Structure 1
Amino acid sequence: MSSESAHEKTGHVLNANESFEENVDPDQQKLDKTGLPLSPQPTDRKDDPLNWSPALKFAICIQASFLAFIGPLASAVINPAFVPLADAFDITPVEASYELTVFLVFAATGPLLVLPAANTYGRRPLVLAASLLAGVTNVVAAYSPTWAGILVTRVFNGIATGCLTALGPPVICDIYFLHERGFYMGIWALFANNGVHVAPLLGGPIAQNIGWRWCFGIPGYIQLGVTAVVACCLPETLFSRGPQTGDMKERPLLDLFLFKSTSARRRIVRRDFTGPFIMLSYLAVLLPAFYYMTCLAYGSVLFAATGSVVYKEIYGFSIIQTGLILSIPLIVGNLIGEAGAGWFIDRLIYLHAKRHDGERPPEARLDALWFALLLPIGTIINGVCISHSTTSSWVGSAFGMAIANVGFQVSTTVVYAYCTDCYKPQSVEVSAVFNFFRHIFSGLVSFYA
């Protein structure tokens, strides 16, 4: 369903991602370098994010991507240290793992109540507040004297991390044209997927050499440093693209850092909070959300949740060796997958537009999902190799994980780019839905696995 019909059904007021190219005189349309009309059509204003320099846009993309990387990484660094964590508070390792379950539940549900502010007060205030909260709660957890105190920090850390993850796609949509989003959404997806894959590389050595508390502390201090960088380098990207834009005063660059104004100029209403649930009535959101959560669960979470047992008991790996095998194959697979995903789905959009008078339907991106079949293929290879561990080495299972993550990365890039293209005015709500499905199902899989 088109973004226009979605706009009519939800009744959302105009926000940063809505374009009005259908009202632009064809003779006055701005074109891309291939001669096709740009979508959305940019204004002539300097404060329009679509008109910013490529260097500034890329800097914003990297900041949004790293924020989506550091949050999941910080939550997972402690995973290899559940045994010493349990010993410190006289609980079982299974009970220690509940801190991850609490984090995932609130990372899924908390942003549903917070993200509506992003369409009214802007992306920047929410990003800064969430990043600061994530850093502070990790540092507090590192010094917490009680188990209950750690669980409380996981509640607020989950809300903050969920917001940072969910705000990435709307920011990408704010600053890039439709024909560019696949590539840059892929960069964001690569960072978002690999936070939990890098974490085992750090968690094992940190817990073994300097103690489990630093598994919270080090990521927390890094997050605070990132917050300081973002405070100085990430401008507001919210921009209202509508008939009223010409009547609004152009914002100087300094205002985009000082919270003096946004271009939304509206109040939060009840429909903002029900928006994510309304989006579930669209199959073009619901089915990709289900698909993405299963890809994440069986392409990433399954390996992380079971790997520590599998590789210790079956192959006799140490903690550090387990961290290596739960990181390197997954990271390599994601890198290979993204090398052929983002630019390819942008190319699919371009080829369709050349054949159909400049039309760029989001569905053209879906052809790339054939490559996502590598996900179940790789997972099957991994399982078969483990079940025949007496006659096959760990190398086969590692290759299976890498192959699965090629498909996982392709699926992530395609579904995020497709859904945000379908529902440009509701990109925040779509991202909130994906974030909810992502963390809830991951929590169930990690809890029961």
Structure 2
Amino acid sequence: MDPEKMDVVREEAISPSNEPIQQNQVFHKEPLHRDPHGLPVIPQPTAHKDDPLNWHPALKLSVCLQVSWLALLGPLSAAVANPSFVLMSHTFGLSVEEASYELTVFLVCAGVGPLAVVPFANAYGRRPVYLLGNLIAAITNIIAGYCDTWAGIMITRVFNGLGAGAVIAMGAATICDLYFVHQRGVYMGIYTLALTSGAHVAPLLGGFIAQSLGWRSCFYIPGYIQLGTFVLTLFSLPETRYSAAHRSDSTPYLEQTYFQNLVFKRSKAPGRRPNLRDFYRPFEMLKLVAILCPAVLYMACFGYGTVLFALTGAKLFTTLYGFTTAQTGLMLSIPLLLGGITGEFSAGWVTDWLSNRHAKRNNGDRLPEARLTAIYGALFVPVGVIIEGVCLSHSETVSWVGSAFGMGIANMGLQIATTTIYAYATDVSSSAEISTIFNAFRQIFSCLISFYAIPFAERIGIQYAWLTFAIIVVILLIPVVFLKFQGPKWRNLPSQKPPL
């Protein structure tokens, strides 16, 4: 795309209605906005103050941090109970694997739920989804803490997943609402770091909470935190969905105030009620190689770079190293947190730098594939998985430190892959369905790990099971590497145009 040839009027980055602008509409011409390097920004902002692209940087950052906190809080509230699977199994007379199915149910519902929610968010706004989804997650977590039956626990996990999943699926779309393409890597990195770190902060808290207060507290304490967050976002998280499509000479334009963005006053987007196609539009995006291949790689990196450790750690570290619940929580938290933070230092700003460097060398052409140079960092995922598998297989002679090192390496690769893939995919298409697709792939794939990881390891050995998982990641990385070189050619094929 040549920015100089773009219409100077911004088309909606994430269309709530997915309807093309009528050709006979007349728009005001505006000056071409440029970045600090003198290159035209993408997308071009309007002249209106209520355009999120024109908001004050402090307000943008505030929204980014709130959305990131919500993305962290959903997985955190679900994973606080992970170190207490052993305690829960004793309470309900289950095996540890069966106790872990409460997390499995959450993952499935968190992946499937947003598919039905995003069309309404596109039509009526993202703010109601953030608020209602987080409120549902809070209430169901609190109820779970007081459940006396396993059936009650599982029912709350269903609704908790639906609520938290809807919130998680909106984050990338909101970042696209707020920031230009040349800025998205950094702020998408903040969001993705929060998204992946929630499940890593959780065991750090969950281990000590479960050991000191019991497993029930692992549910209602995060629930009360979510409830407090609901009150905070009710007064501080504005609507970011915006469209300039009705800015014709004959149509008066009334800007919305910050307060109006808080009281659910519908914005001036070319709105309509969701139709049937809106609900299967995410599946239409799967025809795009530039979306499908990164989505498949991302689900494998996420599943084997973090969820594998969360679902197997309680049993393996208790059995092999005799860890207490608190020690298991520390093991499932600190290495992964350090790995994720280290990985992000090599991800968000790096992808922006790669994109800007390519644009400066090519007359402002911001090629999405320029960001994919950073995808090689995803190789840390299989390296770390192999290290942990070998160390666990030789637990009698190898310290737990080796496993912790492997987990950290794997999560470092996951963070690099996550930020790079999100930044690349939203450059290809800023559609809100992108985040929904990634969320669905990630959650559904991750939930299946609990059914086969331990049985597979018991059959062929941990070392070879983990090696198999590592090979899967490497194989799925190959198509994305091809995208780096062939992506522009493939995306120009008629069959690879994003659906309207």
TM-score (norm 1): 0.92
Q: Distance in 2 between matches of 1:444 and 1:215?
A: 23
Instruction: Work out whether residues 34 and 41 of structure 2, in 8 Å CA contact, stay in contact via their aligned partners in 1.
Output: yes
Q: How does 1:300-311 map to 2 (within 5 A)?
A: 300-311=306-317
Counterpart check, 1:148 vs 2:154: no
Change (3 A) 1:25 1:232: closer
Give the aligned partner of residue 338 of structure 1. Answer: 344
Q: Distance in 2 between matches of 1:390 and 1:14?
A: 57
Instruction: Work out whether residues 17 and 123 of structure 2, in 8 Å CA contact, stay in contact via their aligned partners in 1.
Output: no
Q: Distance in 1 between matches of 2:93 and 2:315?
A: 21
Counterpart amino acid of residue 339 in structure 2? G
Give the aligned partner of residue 162 of structure 2. Answer: 159
The correspondence for 2:383, drawn from 373, 377, 396, is 377
Counterpart check, 1:55 vs 2:58: yes
Aligned length: 436
Give the aligned partner of residue 407 of structure 1. Answer: 413
The correspondence for 1:418, drawn from 402, 414, 424, is 424
Q: Distance in 1 between matches of 2:452 and 2:319?
A: 19
Give the aligned partner of residue 254 of structure 2. Answer: 249
Instruction: Work out whether residues 137 and 156 of structure 1, in 8 Å CA contact, stay in contact via their aligned partners in 2.
Output: yes
Q: Distance in 1 between matches of 2:60 and 2:114?
A: 25
Q: Distance in 2 between matches of 1:32 and 1:393?
A: 51
Give the aligned partner of residue 433 of structure 1. Answer: 437
Q: Which runs of 4+ in 1 moved over 4 A?
A: 16-20, 23-27
CA RMSD, Structure 1 to Structure 2 (Å): 2.3
Counterpart amino acid of residue 118 in structure 2? L
Q: Deviations over 1:78-118 (max 9, x none)?
A: 12222332333344433322211211111111111111111
Change (3 A) 1:279 1:47: same
Deviates further, 43-52 or 305-314: 305-314
**SS across alignment from 2:256:** coil
Shift of 1:18: 11
Change (3 A) 1:395 1:13: closer
Counterpart check, 1:355 vs 2:353: no
Q: Which runs of 5+ in 2 are unaligned?
A: 3-12, 454-500
The correspondence for 1:395, drawn from 388, 401, 411, is 401
Shift of 1:27: 9.0
Q: Distance in 1 between matches of 2:220 and 2:70?
A: 17
Shift of 1:227: 0.7
Counterpart amino acid of residue 190 in structure 2? I
Counterpart amino acid of residue 156 in structure 2? T
Give the aligned partner of residue 7 of structure 1. Answer: none
Counterpart amino acid of residue 187 in structure 1? I
Shift of 1:245: 6.6
Q: Which has the higher contact order (CA 8 A, sep 6+)?
A: 1
Shift of 1:211: 1.5
Shift of 1:36: 0.6
Shift of 1:252: 1.9
Q: Distance in 2 between matches of 1:337 and 1:94?
A: 30
The correspondence for 2:103, drawn from 100, 105, 112, is 100
Q: Distance in 1 between matches of 2:406 and 2:20?
A: 43
Q: Distance in 2 between matches of 1:414 and 1:105?
A: 25
Give the aligned partner of residue 123 of structure 1. Answer: 126
Counterpart check, 1:272 vs 2:278: yes
Q: Distance in 2 between matches of 1:193 and 1:270?
A: 32
Shift of 1:16: 9.1
Change (3 A) 1:25 1:391: farther
Q: Deviations over 1:102-139 (max 9, x none)?
A: 11111111111111111110000111010110101101
Q: Distance in 2 between matches of 1:252 and 1:198?
A: 36
Q: Distance in 1 between matches of 2:358 and 2:19?
A: 22
Instruction: Work out whether residues 186 and 342 of structure 1, in 8 Å CA contact, stay in contact via their aligned partners in 2.
Output: yes
Q: Which has the higher helix share?
A: 1
Q: Deviations over 1:197-229 (max 9, x none)?
A: 111111121111111111110000000001111
Give the aligned partner of residue 288 of structure 1. Answer: 294
Give the aligned partner of residue 182 of structure 1. Answer: 185
Shift of 1:177: 0.5
Shift of 1:315: 2.1
Shift of 1:266: 2.0
Give the aligned partner of residue 222 of structure 1. Answer: 225
Deviates further, 390-399 or 279-288: 390-399
**SS across alignment from 2:262:** helix
Counterpart amino acid of residue 284 in structure 1? A
Give the aligned partner of residue 445 of structure 1. Answer: 449
Change (3 A) 1:310 1:94: closer
Deviates further, 261-270 or 163-172: 261-270
Shift of 1:250: 1.4
Q: Deviations over 1:372-425 (max 9, x none)?
A: 21111122122222223333222222111111111110000011111111111x
Q: Which runs of 5+ in 1 are unaligned?
A: 3-11
Deviates further, 193-202 or 248-257: 248-257
Q: Distance in 2 between matches of 1:243 and 1:361?
A: 29
Q: Distance in 2 between matches of 1:18 and 1:198?
A: 41
The correspondence for 1:203, drawn from 159, 181, 206, is 206
Change (3 A) 1:29 1:13: closer
Give the aligned partner of residue 495 of structure 2. Answer: none
Q: How does 1:317-336 map to 2 (within 5 A)?
A: 317-336=323-342
Q: Deviations over 1:168-189 (max 9, x none)?
A: 0000000000000000000001
Instruction: Work out whether residues 96 and 315 of structure 2, in 8 Å CA contact, stay in contact via their aligned partners in 1.
Output: no
Change (3 A) 1:323 1:245: farther
Paired-residue identity, %: 53
**SS across alignment from 1:280:** helix
Counterpart amino acid of residue 278 in structure 1? E
Change (3 A) 1:120 1:245: farther
Instruction: Work out whether residues 138 and 157 of structure 1, in 8 Å CA contact, stay in contact via their aligned partners in 2.
Output: yes
Q: Distance in 1 between matches of 2:20 and 2:227?
A: 36
**SS across alignment from 1:80:** helix
Instruction: Work out whether residues 353 and 359 of structure 1, in 8 Å CA contact, stay in contact via their aligned partners in 2.
Output: yes
Q: Distance in 1 between matches of 2:14 and 2:340?
A: 37
Shift of 1:17: 10
